[in-house]
Amino acid sequence: MDFKALLDDTTKNTKSFAAAHPDGANGFRAMHKAALVDGALSVKDKELQCIAIGIVKQCNDCIGFHVRAAIKAGATREELAETVSVTILMGGGPAYMYGARAMEAFDQLSA
């Protein structure tokens, strides 16, 4: 999977949705901005949580966007691997498959 191309395509699609329904898009953006700030948990920790949820929900787009954001927040490949391991514990075989995708995304998006 080419995560850079996937994220480019998804960005195009979400911009199209935002043009069609600005209130819905702005509401999501506001929630995203409010949730992903440093607080009791760091942005990096929150991004790793987002990746875990993206894996369990089997959302390649979510995995890609949050892996990219986790890298920007300072997450290491080792931290992602541990996040994937916990996700596999809780999500079983499907989490293993999507967790492997998250590792692939890290390798592509950190290069």
Distance of CA 69 to the CA centre of its chain: 7
Domain locations in the chain as residue ranges: 43-110
43-110: what CATH class? mainly alpha
What confidence tens digit (pLDDT) does each residue in 87-102 have?
Answer: 999 999 999 999 999 9
As a whole number of Å, the CA-based R_g of the chain is: 14
- The answer to whether the beta carbons of residues 55 and 87 sit under 8 Å apart is yes
Looking at the chain, list the stretches that DSSP marks H as alpha helix, in order from N- to C-terminal side: 3-20, 22-35, 43-56, 60-72, 77-109
What confidence tens digit (pLDDT) does each residue in 22-80 have?
Answer: 999 999 999 999 999 999 999 999 999 999 999 999 999 999 999 999 999 999 999 99
Residue 101 to residue 91: CA distance in whole angstroms: 14
